[in-house]
Structure 1
Amino acid sequence: MKIVLLDGLALNDDLNWDSLKELGECRLYDRTPVDDNHEIINRISHTPIVLTHKTPINAEVIHNSPQLKYIGIMGTGYDVVDVKAAREAGITVTTVPTYASDAVAQFTFALLLEVTNHVISYQNGSLNNQLTDFKGNPLTALRGKTFGLIGYGAIAQRVAQIAHAFSMTVIFYNHRPKTVHEKWLQQVSLDELLTRSDVISLHVIQTPQTINLINQATINLMKSNVILLNTARGKLINEADLAAALNSDRVGAAALDVVSSEPIKSDNPLLTATNCMITPHIAWASRETRARLLAISVDNLKEFLAGRQQNIITYK
């Protein structure tokens, strides 16, 4: 059985693929050019099994890879694969759900706390013997503020628990209504969430319906000092609209672990926006979390080879 791993660099430095090598003849690439369909096809066209982290497998790649039977996505979201084309070609696609829920929830609050507490700025001031300027660089208390979650899957649920622990009012919107048991949690409409929230955190997958979910129209419903967090997918935000809102003080601050094109391009308007913090999609990247990702990715393939279903994307 031939297996191709298109982009294993994120796991290769301190983890190994011995468990994958036990399943077949492996060709492991650190990286594959994400914008070069010809090279992607060249690497996978003669193999039935492919694992990918961020290398896209689009319809053109699928149509030119006739031996392909299985695509294992090393992550939770599946926007990296054209699942419609895969379904039509009879290809099984799996993901790794919930592997990073705690890690991403932790990082979401790391972003928020940096925005509200300016730890790095105050540290730099201390190192440079600068006088403390509370008014010019004010701290913000979270207690009593309203934390709004757009989406309420596994990660969002962990974030909600942390927000509650900070004595925040927690509300959420989900496109499919959820059963709520917690007395401290309230399910609301999207418009109500946008208008009420002091902090808005995005936790939905990227679909045609969620691309540009945050745009000028939805921003106009938000409080002018709102803090926007995104640890989900960059294309959920219209970046030009957000940059304009930040630069005009229509949005108080944004802290983003994802952008529309990664690595970030030099002409991304958010790079010059005020009060905008950007990290390079690393919320998931603790060693413990990456080890879990590797183990589940290999286990997904084991189950497929044994004729069983595990973490398979269900097509609708």
Structure 2
Amino acid sequence: MSRLLFLNAERVDWARDLDFTPLEVAMTSVQGRQALSNKDSGNRVVDAIYRPEVSAGILSPQDIAALVTPLHAVVVTKEMPVTAETIDALPDSVKLIVEAGTGFNNIDLDAASSKNIKVCNVPAYSTDAVASLVMTFVLSLSCSMQTTQRRWQSGDTDSWKGLGTLPHFELAGKTIGLVGGRGAIGSRVADLARAFGMHVLISSRSSAPCGKEGVEVVNLDDLLARSDFVSVHCPSNAETRGLIGAPQFARMKTTAYLINTARGNILDESALADALKNKSIAGAGLDVMVVEPLPASSPLFQCDNVLLTPHIGWKRAETRQRLLAGVAENIDAFFKGSPKNVVN
């Protein structure tokens, strides 16, 4: 019987609100067996491990490999490092590792390839959810929503008589710059921003026209200088880590806002904190950080012009269920001999 191990399922299904039946169907359909419900405590083919110590790396690679036998496929999320040692400890029967998400820098791809294990990801499951969060940041920052709420909670009701010098403006006619905006999420943000009457700039390695009305392709320096909102949408890799730091913040308007829903290490957080404290930019909205959760010692907590959310862009219930469907599609395609979304 083919078996699948979802190593850190609690990272996706913390509320126990997801239906794992698509994974069961994918694992059983290959051999023509009737799909088993994930609620069945008997002869399951999918084992979802709800043990925080797995994600935390407390269990050894050997312990992980022994959790389920026989074992043919493994699912992980980005919070769990899958090192060369872990991959080496997996039984030879394992032929597939599926990243339950878009980013896969937690997996040693070379080690997987050397053991003839395919690695797949799910690239587009959170497009609408993350794009919606970007526009939530834009809308909130444009009307100083968090600041006015914070004042009310502190008992400062007098400030409700007027906004004073707090930013409060319409989005129509403003410019949003999308760093690496040719991808699925960036394209969706562009559509949403244009619906609000915004002009859209994108920067990418390709200077070819985008093909969308109201969207202009420019270089990064031009994007930073012209944008009222700068939103990051590029992957984390050797070229993009630390891409936006002090020199880039200095190029931005003092009235501009920085939004990051991609990966924390694309920004220099220390330089961002300085820019926020010095008001060299107007504010920021961050859903991702270099270290998650953000340490209590982070200087970002001392900034009153930043919106911080704990990497919630992908966490809507519908988004997580769509993620499981994408994982199931990868599994089904692999065992039928036509692997998809292969990253190694």
- The two structures have a TM-score, normalised by structure 2, of 0.84
1:279 aligns with 2:309: yes
Partner of 1:223: 253
Name which structure has the greater RCO, CA cutoff 8 Å, separation 6+: 2
Residue identity opposite 2:205 in structure 1: H
Partner of 2:131: 105
Cα distance change of structure 1 residues 145 and 14 upon mapping to structure 2, 3 Å threshold = same
Separation of aligned partners in 1, 2:313 and 2:105: 18
Partner of 1:60: 85
Separation of aligned partners in 2, 1:123 and 1:61: 47
| 1:122 and 1:132 in contact (8 A); partners too | no
Percent identical among aligned pairs is: 32
Q: Which moved more, 1:294-303 or 1:37-46?
A: 37-46
Separation of aligned partners in 1, 2:213 and 2:329: 38
Matched residue pairs, number?
Answer: 314
Task: Report the CA distance between 1:60 and its aligned residue.
Answer: 3.2
Cα distance change of structure 1 residues 123 and 144 upon mapping to structure 2, 3 Å threshold = same
Deviations 1:37-82 (A, max 9, x none): 7535521366431101221213332233353421111112222222
Partner of 1:208: 238
Deviations 1:251-307 (A, max 9, x none): 211101111122222223322233111101111222221111111111211111111
Listed as ranges, the gaps of 5+ residues in structure 1 are none
Cα distance change of structure 1 residues 120 and 198 upon mapping to structure 2, 3 Å threshold = closer
Task: Report the CA distance between 1:29 and its aligned residue.
Answer: 1.6
Q: Which moved more, 1:237-246 or 1:169-178?
A: 169-178
Output aligned runs, 1:296-307, within 5 Å.
296-307=326-337
Residue identity opposite 1:11 in structure 2: D
Cα distance change of structure 1 residues 246 and 40 upon mapping to structure 2, 3 Å threshold = farther
Output aligned runs, 1:1-316, within 5 Å.
1-9=2-10, 10-11=12-13, 13-22=16-25, 23=27, 25-30=45-50, 31-36=52-57, 38-44=59-65, 47-54=71-78, 55-67=80-92, 68-122=94-148, 130=158, 131-151=160-180, 152-313=182-343, 315=344
Cα distance change of structure 1 residues 250 and 294 upon mapping to structure 2, 3 Å threshold = same
Separation of aligned partners in 1, 2:130 and 2:307: 16
Separation of aligned partners in 2, 1:81 and 1:238: 24
Q: Which moved more, 1:74-83 or 1:40-49?
A: 40-49
- The two structures have a TM-score, normalised by structure 1, of 0.90
Residue identity opposite 2:278 in structure 1: S
SS of the counterpart of 2:60? helix
Residue identity opposite 1:280 in structure 2: P
Separation of aligned partners in 2, 1:120 and 1:226: 17
Task: Report the CA distance between 1:179 and its aligned residue.
Answer: 4.2
Residue identity opposite 2:72 in structure 1: P
| 1:102 and 1:155 in contact (8 A); partners too | yes
Cα distance change of structure 1 residues 263 and 124 upon mapping to structure 2, 3 Å threshold = closer
Separation of aligned partners in 1, 2:136 and 2:302: 22
Separation of aligned partners in 1, 2:260 and 2:147: 21
| 1:169 and 1:184 in contact (8 A); partners too | yes
Task: Report the CA distance between 1:126 and its aligned residue.
Answer: 6.8
SS of the counterpart of 2:211? coil
Cα distance change of structure 1 residues 267 and 84 upon mapping to structure 2, 3 Å threshold = farther
Task: Report the CA distance between 1:120 and its aligned residue.
Answer: 4.7
SS of the counterpart of 1:27? strand
Task: Report the CA distance between 1:161 and its aligned residue.
Answer: 1.0
Instruction: Mark the structure with the bigger radius of gyration.
Output: 2
Residue identity opposite 2:24 in structure 1: K
